[in-house]
Amino acid sequence: MFLHSSLNKMLRYVEEEGDHPFLRQPYNQIALLYMTTGNYRGRLFILEQLLKINQRLVGDFEWQLGEDHHAIGENHIQLDQIPQGLEHLLQA
């Protein structure tokens, strides 16, 4: 219950702070929490949001995007979505 409440508070915060320079940190923390609880669908949603934020903030040629694609690819593989996982891993 506490974890669910914490995640909801973090999600509300990041939805309100669209272009904050430290926006990556709460998204990374939420993704980590989802991963530790085995919620890979929730983690995938957060990782995809993080990728969109990074593309908006830094453009398409930032090294961080490679890390984002790598995490998304690994997550797809955890969900047995191999083609999507390989696609993101190749972009990394």
Q: What is the pLDDT of residue 56?
A: 81
Which secondary structure element, helix H or strand E, spans residue 60, and what is its range?
none
Secondary structure (DSSP) of 35-52: HHTT-HHHHHHHHHHHHH
Please give the tally of structural domains in the chain: 1
Burial (CB count <10 Å: 0-12, 13-18, 19+), residue 59: exposed
pLDDT at 19 exceeding the cut of 70: no
Q: What is the pLDDT of residue 25?
A: 82
Domain with 44 in it: what CATH number? 1.25.40
pLDDT, average across residues 18-24: 68
Q: What is the pLDDT of residue 2?
A: 60
pLDDT, average across residues 26-43: 92
Q: Give pTM, 2 decimals.
A: 0.78
Range of the domain at 63: 2-14+23-91
pLDDT, average across residues 24-40: 90
